[in-house]
Amino acid sequence: MSIDLDRARAETPGCGRVAHFNNAGAALMPRPVLDAVADHLRREAEIGGYEAAEEAEPRLEAMYDSLARLLNCGRDEIAFVENATRAWDMAFYSFRFAPGDRILTGVAEYASNAIAMLHVAARSGARIEVVPDDAHGQIDTAALGRTIDSRVKLIALTHIPTNGGLINPAAEVGRQARAAGIPFLLDACQSVGQMPIDVRAIGCDMLSATGRKFLRGPRGTGFLYVRRELCRRLEPVFLDLHAASWTAPERFAVREDARRFENWESYVAGRLGLGAAVDYALGWGLEAIGQRVVALAETLRTRLAALPGVVVRDKGQKRSGIVTFTVAGHEPAAVKAALHVRGINVSTSSAASTRYDMDARGLAGLVRASAHYYNTEAEIDRLVAEIAALVIPS
């Protein structure tokens, strides 16, 4: 199935206003997502928040089925969480580490995850160990195999980093984790929505993701997958009357499914918007989405690399829709600002977001342009022309 570009852009109101290459930050919502959120907020205003939620209950439940289809898992293995970082935290903080325990991660690990690991290591005496990259700049799976021993209690990996286009070989990491009986937590914040994701094939035990990026959902939405066999062994860092039941004055019972990681109060309109975004992506087909995203990104990399003074910084044997680069004589923030006034959205990535990687490469910051299937070749032409004007003044 190919992407009907005219339809995709017609159903995306923002396409008429900007050339949006900040999909790794927050993609443009399509009309069905916008309508799902706005319609529910309007309904809350008309009949009340509790009443509107009760009315929407079938659609809220359907969201779990949609996410299960997206990830190839059971609906009981899905938890709705308000953002990807909180989803990751709910999984990570459920583990109990002791002095001498080892937590393995990769060079491309995201700041929020690394900070949580440092936090827990300082309290528990566990050690964080960064597995080196291979010659392609992705996690070295051979080195990972040599590093694994009985003291390793968790492998935590970012699938696609915030600061570059590489796709880490998550399935090979999953294979090694399964063989060693080590839980594997995958941060799929940048991969879900821009390519097919199958948790069974990857072999991860937990996966965190967001709605706002390549899934094109609303902000304030995220979700967590927890493998059924592991779920009941994990104790969430906090509980409420949704995650558990108060069964007697001095007793409670925790839910059996992944919703033990949820809480009662949530952004109902956002949940409906997330469900609409997942259904919308499934309607296009993740294979078709992935093929177009990769093709657009490779075109952009090739065009940028041909400009004098521009260095494309992406690593990896397989690469995604995120394209990062530097422009000689221009700070990333200045490039972003110059493009913004011309109706082109990009983002920047600083060393503070991925310090293991950025410090090792001696980089303080990058410009990040992330393509999605509704972008056009003409928009790439505009972006490249504006960068060229910066480095080759008329």
The predicted pLDDT at position 361 comes to 96
pLDDT tens digits, 323-369: 999 999 999 999 999 999 999 999 999 999 999 999 999 999 999 99
Locate the domains of the chain by residue range: 5-29+286-391, 32-283
The predicted pLDDT at position 69 comes to 98
For residue 143, the SS3 value is helix
Beta carbons of 314 and 165 less than 8 angstroms apart: yes
Q: What is the CATH number of domain 32-283?
A: 3.40.640.10
pLDDT tens digits, 3-50: 999 999 999 999 999 999 999 999 999 999 999 999 999 999 999 999
Residue 49: is it exposed, middle or buried by C-beta count within 10 angstroms (0-12/13-18/19+)? middle
At the topology level of CATH, where does 5-29+286-391 sit?
Aspartate Aminotransferase, domain 1 (3.90.1150)
* Residue whose pair of structure tokens reads 């325990």 in the numeric block: 101
* Residue whose pair of structure tokens reads 């690394």 in the numeric block: 114
pLDDT tens digits, 232-254: 899 999 999 999 999 999 999 99
Helices then strands, each counted (H, E), the chain: 15, 15
Taking alpha carbons only, the member of 208, 213, 170, 222 closest to residue 193 is 213
pLDDT tens digits, 270-319: 999 999 999 999 999 999 999 999 999 999 999 999 999 999 999 999 99
Side-chain-side CA neighbours of 181 within 13 Å: the count stands at: 3
Dihedral sign for Cα atoms in the order 311, 315, 319, 324? negative
The predicted pLDDT at position 58 comes to 98
Beta carbons of 147 and 338 less than 8 angstroms apart: no
Beta carbons of 368 and 323 less than 8 angstroms apart: yes
For residue 386, the SS3 value is helix
Return the beta strands (E) in 99-241 as ranges: 102-106, 127-131, 152-158, 184-187, 206-210, 222-226
* Residue whose pair of structure tokens reads 């995850």 in the numeric block: 113
**Six-digit token string for 320:** 């995604």
**Six-digit token string for 44:** 């809350």
Which residues have C-beta within 8 Å of that of residue 91, sequence separation ≥ 6? 185, 206, 208, 224, 226, 234, 261
Which residues have C-beta within 8 Å of that of residue 97, sequence separation ≥ 6? 103, 120, 121, 124, 125, 126, 153, 154
Beta carbons of 113 and 92 less than 8 angstroms apart: yes
pLDDT tens digits, 162-194: 999 999 999 999 999 999 999 999 999 999 999
* Residue whose pair of structure tokens reads 């990399």 in the numeric block: 301
The predicted pLDDT at position 335 comes to 98
Which residues have C-beta within 8 Å of that of residue 309, sequence separation ≥ 6? 327, 328, 329, 391
pLDDT tens digits, 62-121: 999 999 999 999 999 999 999 999 999 999 999 999 999 999 999 999 999 999 999 999
Portion of the chain with pLDDT greater than 90, in percent: 98
Q: Give yes or no for residue 1 having a pLDDT over 70.
A: no
Region 223-231 average pLDDT: 97
Instruction: Give Dmax (Cα) for the chain.
Output: 77
* Residue whose pair of structure tokens reads 């509790």 in the numeric block: 50
H helical segments located in 125-265: 141-147, 170-180, 199-202, 228-231
Confidence at 61, pLDDT banded by 50, 70, 90: very high
Q: Give yes or no for residue 394 having a pLDDT over 70.
A: no
